[in-house]
Structure 1
Amino acid sequence: MTNSEAPLGHCYSDAGLLKQALTHRSAGRPNNERLEFLGDALLNLLVAEFIYECFPKASEGEMTRLRAALVSGAALAQLAREFDLGEHVLLGPGELKSGGFRRDSILADTVEALIAAIYLDAGWEACRSHVRNIFAERITSAQNMGTKDPKTSLQELLQANGLPLPEYELISTSGDDHSKTFEVSCAVESLAMRDSGSGTSRRAAEQSAAVLLLEPVRNMIAMRKKDRKS
């Protein structure tokens, strides 16, 4: 990827900054760990501001749950896949061999690092503008479903259409006791749909998985209704 290309919609003037943002720690130094730290803080602030503006009647708890869903590891990894970032991440031999370019945690960290790189490359307003562009459709979807948490929204969507409730299953846990990561699958068997999410608790991982299925399930139900009418 050259500096003329635009991951997350930004053309970088500093090619070295872009390369650093795409370099995983397994590939040596300089890598994107410090950028990831800054990008995480920027994303939380900018997405919180966006939610605050878009949901003037939402409570603190509702806004907190929505922000957590939008910037969860699974949600950011999905965003990375939409931008095909995995093929551009620079990995060490071990991570490359084990398929690290597909791993949610690495993809999510790369998104955070790129957000920080945009900020350092072009300043606050450019970073804010790009974050809003990236999350606009997601915020719109959240407005359409209300400010309920993703698990509740998915459950109510299925119930309203006479379909069985989703099933959640713990796939794995990793990390030290004080910093565990949980991966959970969410399955809507009646629609043959399944996805997985990760989080720092089982509940957070379930929310991450649910948010990834909400729109696909909504679209599938709408498609079925349309087919029955035709």
Structure 2
Amino acid sequence: MTRPDRRKAAVAALEARVGRVFTDRDLLERALTHASVGNGGTPGRDNERLEFLGDRVLNLMAAEHLCQAFPAAREGELARWLNRLVNSGACAEVARSIGLPDALRLDASASRIGARDSERVLGDACEALMAALYLDGGLEAARSFFRIGWGDLAAGLDAGPDRDPKTRLQEWAMGLGLPPPAYVVVSAEGPPHDPRFTIEARLPGLEPATGAGRSKREAEKAAAAMFLEREKIQP
């Protein structure tokens, strides 16, 4: 498969994962085009303006979800949860889970310095994709993407950060003077629209624990939970 063909397949897989085939193909291409492409060419042909809009749409989707899911929560608690859903790390993680890195258009020099795996680049592109979905399919398309991309993270908010397995494992490791756990992809199987990831949670001097899931985030949480269970670490 030639490079253009590989990217075409990656874009198709991305659309399958977010559940929408774009009517406006140019809009999708803009969302997936980094500012390095063209080096200052025609304004508006990259994803920077869409990222600006997507940030606001994402905040709306997250706030809407929080208000519906937690009707008794106070404003301060809602604000803390909102920050956990819309930060650049969460957006980059969503981007990776839907295969966005392979669909990105980047200048060759930007690719060589690792921009395709940059948290900032992926987070911005994820927000640009949110904007493109909103413009192409309205609020319902944006809501659908939020449920797909942020569903696992949003579902864990009511448990509190101290009960999230990844947070608990990291705190336990820190208490032993160990570095944060490393999460290593052991395998990625299945079709692009229905992937299955197997990930190991690793800490120095201890046996790794393995977890699986339909997204990397889900598999990491499963691996962390297995580690906690094996080491009999209490909540």
Match of 1:220 in 2: 227
Query: Matched residues in 2 for 1:78 and 1:156: separation?
Result: 16
Query: Matched residues in 1 for 2:113 and 2:167: separation?
Result: 38
Query: Matched residues in 1 for 2:26 and 2:230: separation?
Result: 46
Equivalent pair of 2:32/2:103 in contact (CA under 8 Å) = yes
1:36-59 Cα distance to aligned partner (Å, 9 max, x none): 000000001110110111112222
Match of 2:32 in 1: 22
Aligned partner letter, 1:27: V
Compared CA separation, residues 223 and 50, structure 1 to 2 (3 A): farther
Aligned partner letter, 2:29: K
RMSD, aligned α-carbons: 3.3
Q: How far apart are residue 64 of structure 1 and its match?
A: 0.9
Q: How far apart are residue 62 of structure 1 and its match?
A: 1.3
Instruction: Indicate yes or no: 2:97 matched with 1:82.
Output: yes
Aligned match for 2:180, one of 187, 191, 199: 187
Identical residues among aligned pairs (%) = 33
Point out where structure 1 has 5 or more consecutive residues left out of the alignment. 169-185, 194-212, 226-230
Query: Matched residues in 1 for 2:81 and 2:113: separation?
Result: 33
Q: How far apart are residue 155 of structure 1 and its match?
A: 9.8
Compared CA separation, residues 167 and 23, structure 1 to 2 (3 A): farther
Point out where structure 2 has 5 or more consecutive residues left out of the alignment. 1-7, 183-200, 205-219
Normalising by structure 2, we get a TM-score of 0.67
Compared CA separation, residues 188 and 87, structure 1 to 2 (3 A): closer
Query: Matched residues in 1 for 2:71 and 2:95: separation?
Result: 29
Aligned match for 1:69, one of 73, 79, 84: 84
More displaced, 45-54 or 127-136?
A: 127-136
1:116-154 Cα distance to aligned partner (Å, 9 max, x none): 0001111122222322333222211222x23xxx47967
Aligned match for 1:11, one of 21, 25, 50: 21
Match of 1:101 in 2: 116
Query: Matched residues in 1 for 2:119 and 2:181: separation?
Result: 21
Query: Matched residues in 1 for 2:49 and 2:170: separation?
Result: 44
Query: Matched residues in 2 for 1:192 and 1:125: separation?
Result: 42
1:165-192 Cα distance to aligned partner (Å, 9 max, x none): 3879xxxxxxxxxxxxxxxxx7159961
Equivalent pair of 1:167/1:188 in contact (CA under 8 Å) = no
Number of paired residues? 185
Q: How far apart are residue 95 of structure 1 and its match?
A: 0.6
Query: Matched residues in 1 for 2:177 and 2:63: separation?
Result: 30
Aligned match for 1:135, one of 145, 150, 159: 150
Match of 2:168 in 1: 157
Match of 1:180 in 2: none
Compared CA separation, residues 24 and 49, structure 1 to 2 (3 A): same
Equivalent pair of 1:39/1:116 in contact (CA under 8 Å) = yes
Query: Matched residues in 1 for 2:167 and 2:120: separation?
Result: 29
Query: Matched residues in 1 for 2:176 and 2:92: separation?
Result: 22
Aligned partner letter, 1:222: E
Query: Matched residues in 2 for 1:42 and 1:88: separation?
Result: 22
Query: Matched residues in 1 for 2:126 and 2:168: separation?
Result: 30
Query: Matched residues in 2 for 1:158 and 1:78: separation?
Result: 19
Aligned partner letter, 2:225: R
Aligned partner letter, 1:77: A
Equivalent pair of 1:167/1:187 in contact (CA under 8 Å) = no
Equivalent pair of 2:170/2:180 in contact (CA under 8 Å) = no
Q: How far apart are residue 83 of structure 1 and its match?
A: 1.2
Match of 1:209 in 2: none
Q: How far apart are residue 224 of structure 1 and its match?
A: 4.7
